[in-house]
Amino acid sequence: MTDLWYEDKGAGPPVVLLHEGVVDSRIWEPFVPLVTDRLRTIAYDQRGYGRSPMWTGPYSVVDDLVSVLDAADVDRAALVGTSRGGRIAIQAALERPERISALVLVASGLAGRPLELEGTPEQEARWEAAEAAGDLDELAEIDMEFWAPMGADDRLRAMFVENAAASNADDPAEEVPSASRLGEIAVPTLVITGARDVKAINELGELLAAEIPGAWHAVIEDADHMVQWRAPEELARLVLDFLQNGRS
């Protein structure tokens, strides 16, 4: 069993949805109803986020993912991971390939490749002041400026604020750098980026598409980092076409 919160919906081949590191699994709400007539979706809150317990020491993000698969009685699943979720999906494909059937990496991160974000001096000063004061609301506000520049409605803003403690904490997750091992990934892979996302993420998307054997790459024009929130219909079309027809 797992101590992580998850929701299991739909019928068809199983797909695990892994959220970004600044929100929780509610970010998938616009996307899930568009695919559950053809896919079984399992969306979970990563450790410390949403309705899952905070970490109490070092832990394995891959073991957490496998615990969700086991609790849902799924032997093998496709992974659709956004940002931090993409980073976890890549690790899982390398560490537990027998449990993974395909990857969809959306605005993905990559363990072993730190992101260099281009913040203004004013944002950096605000960040330092908020971090020193433990002002989670201000930290969430700055996060939204980077990751949700197209704006945040009340629901999206609430996710940023409610998960700010986890997203701005020193996470003791045990990660093995994956950047030098992309050529070992042996499952079908689709890389998706949002044209209005930060430059570092889009450059990373190009790297993933180039170095993962046989990977496809698709760009969603009207999306920032919150791809499944901005363009759920286009994302659903890409995911369904890739997973069920083997193409992007």
pLDDT tens for the chain, 248 residues: list them: 799 999 999 999 999 999 999 999 999 999 999 999 999 999 999 999 999 999 999 999 999 999 999 999 999 999 999 999 999 999 999 999 999 999 999 999 999 988 888 888 899 999 999 999 999 999 999 999 999 999 999 999 999 999 999 999 999 998 889 999 999 999 999 999 999 999 999 999 999 999 999 999 999 999 999 999 999 999 999 999 999 886 54
Instruction: Count the neighbouring beta carbons within 10 Å of the beta carbon of residue 73.
Output: 8
Q: Determine which helix (DSSP H) or strand (DSSP E) holds 106, and give its type and residue range.
A: strand 100-106
**Tokens linked to 64:** 């957490």
What's the pLDDT at 241? 97
Architecture of domain 6-245: 3-Layer(aba) Sandwich (3.40)
Structure tokens at 231: 């363009």
DSSP three-state, residue 15: strand
Summarize pLDDT for 142-155 with one digit per residue, the tens: 999 999 999 999 99
- Assign 86 to helix, strand or coil: helix
Query: Which pair of tokens denotes residue 98?
Result: 């027998």
Domain segments of the chain as ranges: 6-245
Give the position of tokens 């959306």.
Answer: 106
Stated as kind and residue range, the H or E segment containing 144 is helix 136-147
Pick the closest to residue 43 from 81, 1, 70 (CA basis): 81
Q: Which of 200, 247, 194, 189 minimizes the C-alpha distance to 223?
A: 194
